[in-house]
Amino acid sequence: MEPTTPDVQLLTPQAIREIARALGIRPTKTLGQNFVHDAGTVRRIVAAADLPAGTHILEVGPGLGSLTLALLEAGMRVSAVEIDPLLAANLPATVAARTRMADRVRVIHADALSITGCADLGLEEGDAPRALVANLPYNVSVPVLLSLLEAFPSIERALVMVQREVAERLCASAGSRTYGVPSAKLAWYGQAKSAGLVGRTVFWPEPHVDSALVSFTRTDHYDPAERENTFAVIDHAFAQRRKSLRKALSGLLGGVDEAARVLAAAGIDPLARGETLTIEDYRRLAHHALPGRRASAHAQGKVNLLLEVGRADERGYHPLRSVFFGLDLVETVTLTPLLGEETRVRVRACAGDLARLEGLADRDNLAVRAVRAALERSHRRAGFALDIDKRVPVAGGMAGGSADAAAALRAARAAFDLPLGDDDLVEIARSLGADVPFGLVGGAAWGTGYGDEVSAIADAQPRHLALAFLEEGLSTPAVFAAFDAGGGGREHLREELGDEWAAALADPDPSALAGLIHNDLADAALALRPDLQAPLEAARAAGALSAFVSGSGPTIAALGRDGSHARCLAEAMAQAPGVSATRVVSGPHNPREV
Ligand code: C5P
C-alpha cells in the first residue's frame, strides 16, 4: 500500500533509542517489550492488513509508536491500548512530533485483557474499531486476540505479529501436529492464515524467539450464545491431549459412559482425540452435551393496592393482607445452560440504577437460588448463566428481585424440561421469599399468610398509574423495623378480601377503588424518607385519584382516571426533588412466557 500522506516520519533505530533514553525506559521482560525499529517491517504489517484508508484500527501494545505511525501514514484512525503508563503517556507526544495527525490517534492506558467493549475505550458504539492491527504482547497474545474478537464483533479483520510458534498454532487446521486450543478457538470467529515470518533483527532489543504475522478474517458462522460451552469442551478435550475424547471429556460431561453417549449422538467417534475435531465438530458436540436449552421469562413489577400488616411473629416476620396488582413494567430473565456445574449471574440496568446493582450479581442472588432449588427438587444437576435485564427499580418496593426469582423458576423449568407442575413452582417460590409466589401468578391477586399465599382475583378492570422512582433505594427490613418501632401491626387482620374490594376492582370507574387504597407501611417509609412527601403531594395536586407508597417504598404510585391523566401525573411527579424517573404503567398484567 502506498503511503497516502508523505508527512509522517516513521521511527528509526536511532529515534527509538533516543525516545527510550529520554523516558528512562528499559524494555521489560515481564511485559514482553521488544520495540520494532525497522520502517520496512511496520509498513509490511500495514500492507498485509490490507485495509482501506480511513479504517478505525484497534492497536494493542503500541510501545514507542512504530506501528502507530505506519498506520497513520496509511491514512488509518487508531485507538491504541497501552498497559505501560509511561509509554501510554508519551505516545501522543511522539505522534505530534512526527505527524500532523495527532487527532487521528486515541491512546487508552489499560490492560487489553480488561477491555470488554467500546465503553472501556471511551468510544460510542457506532464508532467501534473495524480491525485489529498489532504487534501483540507475546506472553498474552492468544488471550488478548480471543478476548478482543469477543469484545468487538465489529472487528472484521486482524493482522497481528506474534511469536512464530504461536502463529503456527493459530493457523493450524484439525489433524495437524500444531492444532490446539488457540487454533480451534480462533476458528470459532473466522479464518486465520500465515502472512509470513519476521526476523529478530527488526526488534530492539533482539528477542530470543522468531516472529510471524497472522492474517485473520471474521466469518462469524456461529451463535455467540454457544461459544462459552463450545470453548469449555475444547479446553477439556486438549487438557488431556493424548487421551480419547470419552476419557478427556468424562469430567465435564458426567462420566465416561455419558461422554461416550454424547459423542456418539453428535456423530463423533468416542475413541477419537481432540486434535482431530474441527470447530464445527466442537460446536455440535457442545450442543449435544448441553443439559438444556436457552429459555427466557418475563418478570414484572407490582404495587400493593392494599397492604395491611399484623404483629411480627417470633422470626420478626409479619402476617400480611395484600391486594397485589401486577404492572406492565417488565424485565427479562434469560437462562443459558452451561456445561459443568458452574453458576453465574449477570445483571444489567439503566444507568441510574447501577449503584444499586452491587451485590445483586453475586451467587446468592435470589434468582440463582430459585434455579438451584428447582434443579434440586427435580434431582438434576446443571450449570447455568442468568442474564437479568433490569427495568423494575432495584430496592424500590416493587418486588423486582422477587419477580426475577419467579421468572427464573419458569425459565429453569423450560430450559431443563423439569418435571415440575405449577404447584411445585409455587411451593419453591414460598421458600424463597414472601413476594415470590405473586411473581409467578401476576395479574390482580389477594395475598394472605406472610404475603406468600396468593389467589388470583378475576374481573379486575384495567387501571392506569404513574410511578415515580426515587434516586435512593429503601431497605424492606428497615421499613418493617421502623413500623414495629412505631407501634407495630394490627391485632386483627381481615379474613377475606371483602365485597367492597371485589366490587371496586370490577368497577370500570376507578373512583371507588381509589377510596380503598391503603398501605400500613406508608408512615414508616415516610418517617425514614421525608423526601417521599414531595412526589406524593405533586401527584395529589395534579388530581391523582390516590397517591400512595408502593409496598415498602420508596417508589410512589399515583392512580389516574385514564392513560392520559396518568401521563399528567407522571409529568407532575417528575418535577419533585429526589425523583430520578417516572413511568406510566397499567395493570393488571400477567407475566407471559417469552
Ligand atoms: O420475604 P422477603 O425476603 O421478600 O422479605 C424481606 C424482608 O421483609 C424480611 O427480611 C422481613 O424483614 C420483611 N418482611 C416481613 N414480613 C413479611 C415479609 C417481609 O417482616 N411478611
SS3 letters across 235-249 = HHHHHCCCCCHHHHC
Average pLDDT of the chain, as a whole number: 93
Q: Is the pLDDT of residue 356 over 90?
A: no
Query: What value does the mean pLDDT take over residues 180-187?
Result: 98
From the alpha carbon of 552, which atom of ligand 1 is closest? 8
From the alpha carbon of 436, which atom of ligand 1 is closest? 4
Give the model's confidence band at 221: pLDDT under 50 very low, under 70 low, under 90 confident, else very high.
confident
From the alpha carbon of 316, which atom of ligand 1 is closest? 20
From the alpha carbon of 402, which atom of ligand 1 is closest? 4
Alpha helix segments (H runs only) across 152-254: 164-171, 181-189, 227-239, 245-248, 250-253
The length of the chain in residues reads: 594
| Whole-number Å distance between alpha carbons of 504 and 284 | 57
Atom 12, ligand 1: which residue's CA is nearest?
Answer: 477
Ligand 1, pocket-test mutation among 480, 484, 490, most atoms within 8 A of CB: 480
Query: 587 alpha carbon to ligand 1 midpoint, in Å?
Result: 24
Residue 570 host element (H or E):
helix 563-574
CB contact at 8 A, 268 and 244: no
What per-residue confidence (pLDDT) applies to 351? 47
What per-residue confidence (pLDDT) applies to 445? 97
Query: 518 alpha carbon to ligand 1 midpoint, in Å?
Result: 19
Ligand 1, pocket-test mutation among 317, 369, 432, most atoms within 8 A of CB: 317
Q: Is the pLDDT of residue 4 over 80?
A: no
| Whole-number Å distance between alpha carbons of 230 and 452 | 41
| Whole-number Å distance between alpha carbons of 354 and 393 | 10
Query: What value does the mean pLDDT take over residues 295-301?
Result: 95
Query: 304 alpha carbon to ligand 1 midpoint, in Å?
Result: 15
| Extended strands (E) in 5-55 | 35-36
Q: Is the pLDDT of residue 2 over 50?
A: no
Least reliable range by pLDDT among 27-36, 429-438, 562-571, 584-593? 27-36
Atom 3, ligand 1: which residue's CA is nearest?
Answer: 433
Give the model's confidence band at 425: pLDDT under 50 very low, under 70 low, under 90 confident, else very high.
very high
What is the 8-class DSSP label of residue 372?
A: H
What per-residue confidence (pLDDT) applies to 358? 56
Residue 67 host element (H or E):
helix 66-73
Query: What value does the mean pLDDT take over residues 356-380?
Result: 83
- Pocket lined around ligand 1, Cβ cut-off 6 Å: 316-318, 320, 402, 433-435, 450-451, 476-477, 480
| Whole-number Å distance between alpha carbons of 490 and 313 | 12
| CA of residue 591 relative to chain centroid, distance | 22
Among residues 590, 67, 87, 536, the alpha carbon closest in space to that of 300 is found at 590
CB contact at 8 A, 189 and 227: no
| Extended strands (E) in 205-342 | 211-218, 295-309, 320-338
From the alpha carbon of 435, which atom of ligand 1 is closest? 4
Query: How does pLDDT run across 258-292, given as a tens digit for each residue?
Result: 999 999 999 999 999 999 999 999 999 999 998 88
Query: How does pLDDT run across 427-476, given as a tens digit for each residue?
Result: 999 999 999 999 999 999 999 999 999 999 999 999 999 999 998 889 99
Using alpha carbons only, give the angle 219, 220, 223 rounded to the nearest 5 degrees. 160
Query: 477 alpha carbon to ligand 1 midpoint, in Å?
Result: 6
Query: pTM for the complete prediction?
Result: 0.77
Q: Which residues pair with 61 in a beta bridge?
A: none
Among residues 471, 446, 470, 473, the alpha carbon closest in space to that of 458 is found at 446
Query: What value does the mean pLDDT take over residues 91-116?
Result: 96
Ligand 1, pocket-test mutation among 476, 483, 552, most atoms within 8 A of CB: 476
What per-residue confidence (pLDDT) applies to 137? 92
Atom 10, ligand 1: which residue's CA is nearest?
Answer: 477
Among residues 319, 332, 411, 401, the alpha carbon closest in space to that of 371 is found at 411
